[in-house]
Amino acid sequence: MVVHGGPTVRRRRLAAELRRLRESADVSWEQAISELDFSRSKLSRIETARSGVTVNDTRAMCGLYGVVGSELENLLELAKQAKKKGWWHPYSRVMSDWFEVYIGLESEAAAVRNFEIDLIPGLLQTEQYARAIIGSWAPDEPDHDNEQRTQLRKARQARLTEGAEPLKFWAIISEAAIRQQVGGADVMREQLKHLLSRSKLPNVTVQVLPFQAGAHASLGTGFSILSFPDPVDPDVVYLEYLTGSLYLEEAEEIERYTLNFDHLRATALDPRDSAKLLGKVARET
């Protein structure tokens, strides 16, 4: 069996399938916990893909749910593939668990739609801008660790230019983000020039949401929508806050954020006028 996708997407796919099989077999949470000798938190983490599942646990769950033959073998192979380490593993020491999940999803996505309020999106940041941001977020961390985080951000950006099918990235950035003086005038000027350069890539679209746009449905809420190459893997909405993140996967939630992004796209300056504003702000900086 050929299993497509990286380890994070495979783990997510396996989690969804194990939950579906439990529900199809009419096995309740209480019954599964008792029969498998799992804690409630373990079963929850498995079914929501917050943690991986071993091959042995996958076999035990499939036995309880009545899964046999080729379907069982496919799920066991998926469990094996989901345990493999991603390219980002060398940076794991300086990443939180919740952000490592995001890196895995981003690495395996076909497209990302991103709205940012007061930051340049990570995939479009210069090294100097990223270093200034990371230093302000973690001022008490060792310099070496913050430098590792900066290099991780730089490594993520390879998705925009490398491979047969580079990541499609659509960024809507509030005007506040392009005027915020991060790292000083020189750093910000180079960042704006870099943003202009990246916006010329065929797979990258940059729009600026100007101050005069006024109130809109996403005030105070930056978010990303990740889409994947295999239709079996549904979109994910990613929301980040100071000490963690949320991953939204319900269809109605995805629909709401997709509609919000479409409204933002219609309200923001078009790519050409956005480039003009970026150039103007760069010259004024």
Residue 230, pLDDT score: 84
CA distance 278 to 232: 38
Q: In what order do the strands lie in the sheet with 204-209?
A: 204-209, 168-174, 111-116, 223-227, 236-241, 244-248
**Taking 70 as the threshold, does the pLDDT of residue 51 lie above it?**
yes
**Taking 70 as the threshold, does the pLDDT of residue 153 lie above it?**
yes
If you average pLDDT over residues 86-92, what whole number do you get? 88
Poorest-confidence range of 3-12, 31-40, 237-246? 3-12
pLDDT mean across residues, the chain: 91
Poorest-confidence range of 46-60, 184-198, 252-266? 46-60
Residue with the larger pLDDT of the pair 184 and 6: 184
- pLDDT band at residue 232 under the 50/70/90 scheme: confident
Structure tokens belonging to residue 110: 């076909």
If you average pLDDT over residues 234-245, what whole number do you get? 90
Distance between start and end Cα atoms, the chain = 55
Portions of the chain given CATH number 1.10.260.40: 7-82
Q: Where do we find the tokens 């809420």?
A: 221
If you average pLDDT over residues 99-118, what whole number do you get? 93
Write the pLDDT tens digit of every residue in 187-230. 999 999 999 999 999 999 999 999 999 988 888 889 999 999 98
State the CATH architecture for 93-284: 2-Layer Sandwich (3.30)
Contact criterion met (CB below 8 Å) for 268 and 274: yes
If you average pLDDT over residues 43-61, what whole number do you get? 89
If you average pLDDT over residues 53-72, what whole number do you get? 92
Structure tokens belonging to residue 64: 């309880």
Portions of the chain given CATH number 3.30.870: 93-284
C-alpha 284 chain-centroid distance? 33
- pLDDT band at residue 5 under the 50/70/90 scheme: low
Contact criterion met (CB below 8 Å) for 233 and 8: no
Amino acid at 34: S
**CATH topology for the 7-82 domain:** 434 Repressor (Amino-terminal Domain) (1.10.260)
If you average pLDDT over residues 149-178, what whole number do you get? 95
**Taking 80 as the threshold, does the pLDDT of residue 141 lie above it?**
yes
**Taking 70 as the threshold, does the pLDDT of residue 162 lie above it?**
yes
Residue 1, pLDDT score: 35
Structure tokens belonging to residue 9: 């997407």
**Taking 60 as the threshold, does the pLDDT of residue 2 lie above it?**
no
